[in-house]
Structure 1
Amino acid sequence: MKKKSKKTEENELSLEAISQYKMDDLESKAYKIAIKWVQISKKIFPNYNHTGIKKGDPRKSLIFKFCYKLARETAGLIAEDEYELYIRSQLDVIKHISNGNPVLVTPACLVGDKAWFRWKLWKRKYDKIVTKPTSKVEVPQSINKTGFYKAFAGLEQTKEFFNKNSLSFNLTTFKEKKSDIIRWTNLNKISPYYICISPLAKSILQKEDYARMNFDISVYSSCINEEVLNKFRELFPEEKV
């Protein structure tokens, strides 16, 4: 089989398809999940002959159909930023039980009662790990580092947003922009990880301010270790942590 070029793969994974094919909200969500499936499945099973997203309207692909079913059936049950973890949970379990033997890797593993059971068991183990960063329990690397990877990505995204909008804060300007900062956080322009670490946020934001944000700060705080703090120091040296 002819190997796909990098350009072809990039075209397949383009988010422009959302507007090009006039996808509604649920279809857009499913398509983004499908992109995550393609990316993560290739990382976890790099030697597997994966099926890609269908050329043209991605809604006609088998991957999209399963991801659409997943998005529809888990609406309100899985947080938007947890679908990457959900996909990893299914693939990690499949890889573990295969024990190096040939295994069928298809997006069908994302849906159904068994998939939900795998997710709940995996998530329980994952939550224990991220709340105890110093734990000596050996776990798959893909589980152990997922939360920290998301923290790094979130901080970099926030820095990019600050640079793009020429934003720089001190105690005075942070207080003046507090309402905007809360709004930007709820719009995913500013990462919850930044809010968790920033000394400015800790000094200015009150309990009622955190209540206005659409995330549980304790969930994100549990993923912060020295590596994440060092990343924050690198990106935001003006804020002394």
Structure 2
Amino acid sequence: MGLITFLSDFGYRDHYVAAVKARLLGLVPAVPVLDLTHAIEPYNVPHAVHVLGAVFADFPAGTVHLIGVDDHGGARRGWVAASWRGHYFVAADNGILTLLTDARPDDVVRLPTPAEWPASPTRDVLAPAAAHLAQGHSLTDLGPLGTELNPLVNRQLRLQDHRITGHVVHVDHYGNLVTNITRTAIEAVGHGRACTVHFARESVRGFAPHFQAVDPGDVACVYNGQGALCIGVNQGHASELLGLHFDSQVDVRFAVNE
């Protein structure tokens, strides 16, 4: 028997999460359902992609990831199930799976659209599909294989000989700024050269091992557990203090060796 994770923008004040879990309990009572978070900002697809992308691979192969974010976003394109890197995902076709997989899932099927519009697509369409997959059944039992997904595109890094340009892709609970600039990219372009991180009107030389390595109120640049460049203020809210938000530009500039 498998495992289902559940991610949504439903919040914690209403009955929506409980309704989905009640449906799963009725369908697959022996399958554990683990909540990732239900505090995704409403309809915020990039937020969902960031959270899911940071953690899904830590679960065992074969885990089913039920994504109830912007689930009515399937109004135009419907709902899909996909396999990728040994995991299964069920979601509205609103760009989440395109961004998560860089438009390269292993297999995709389009879930049947109910004759009557579902009151809760996550409960009525996605949860039964997740239960089916968690029982070890085939993806193709759910619908015909296809290739098309809602064609959203991730922000791409701009790499130059002495500079990398990226963007903030997430602001976490503490106000830390997560960028799409990776340690791998910095090492590939920098070749061990000293670098300075530039953002807004500020700049920071080099990287700290963690945010607490600088004095309270000071800015630090660190790598997170996924190897992404992050900007934070020790004991402060970097997004508010620095005036940086989702999609703000961040540059890494390298010393020019003569």
TM-score (norm: length of structure 1): 0.27
The structure that is strand-richer by fraction is 2
TM-score (norm: length of structure 2): 0.26
The structure that is helix-richer by fraction is 1
